[in-house]
Chains A and B, each alone.
Chain A
Amino acid sequence: EDKVVQSPLSLVVHEGDTVTLNCSYEVTNFRSLLWYKQEKKAPTFLFMLTSSGIEKKSGRLSSILDKKELFSILNITATQTGDSAVYLCALSGTYKYIFGTGTRLKVLA
């Protein structure tokens, strides 16, 4: 059975800290791994990763995929209170997405 597991489930840090969120998976035949940020409503897209070992960066956020070890990480440096959200990873396969359990991040001022 396809499975996507994220860790930690929740995390509390202070502004300025660096965090690393993990996403491990047991999914066959997926096209890409995606990271989303979800605040109060709909998930918003952060990154799409299709190739192993290539880091994607956007400002203070970066992500990388390891297809051999079957995981991805999302790094957030110099965290801000606005980074507080649930971070979801999802694997895109034929027709559908499989979402991970999510990591709830809270950044304290």
Chain B
Amino acid sequence: DTEVTQTPKHLVMGMTNKKSLKCEQHMGHRAMYWYKQKAKKPPELMFVYSYEKLSINESVPSRFSPECPNSSLLNLHLHALQPEDSALYLCASSPIAGAITQYFGPGTRLLVL
């Protein structure tokens, strides 16, 4: 299984809502990543988890809260988002942090109204 899955595929939420994005991999990878990608821009790193511990937080606003409950799962909790947070949110994993290739999930397209 060389797949990273993400749910939901699409999400529309209001600025007062609380929602969560989920990411799962069963490749035994010990590093997982959240990226944000705006239209016509490259992915921007948000968070890196290594061995279930948060290793990097790229100065992401606190309205985004990551969680890594176990080595296969990565969540991104969303609260009080702004319309400018609308983007494609990509999850990725790699065997270890910074190693070789990252495998990307299909992404969640988020629209904040």
Residues of A participating in the B interface, judged by any CB pair closer than 8 Å: 31-32, 34, 41-45, 48, 88, 92-97, 99-102, 104
Contact = CB atoms under 8 A, between A and B. Distances in A.
Contacts of B88: 41
The secondary-structure label for the interface of chain A is strand
A42 B104 contact: yes
B56 interface: yes
Interface of B: 4, 31, 33, 40-45, 48, 50, 55-56, 88, 90, 97-107
Given A42-B106, A42-B107, A96 B101 contact: no
Nearest to B97: A95
B56 A95 contact: yes
Contacts of B56: 95-96
A95 B50 contact: yes
A41 B48 CA distance: 20
A104 B42 CA distance: 11
B54 to A, nearest CB: 11
A99 B33 CA distance: 14
A16 B4 CA distance: 34
B42 A99 contact: yes
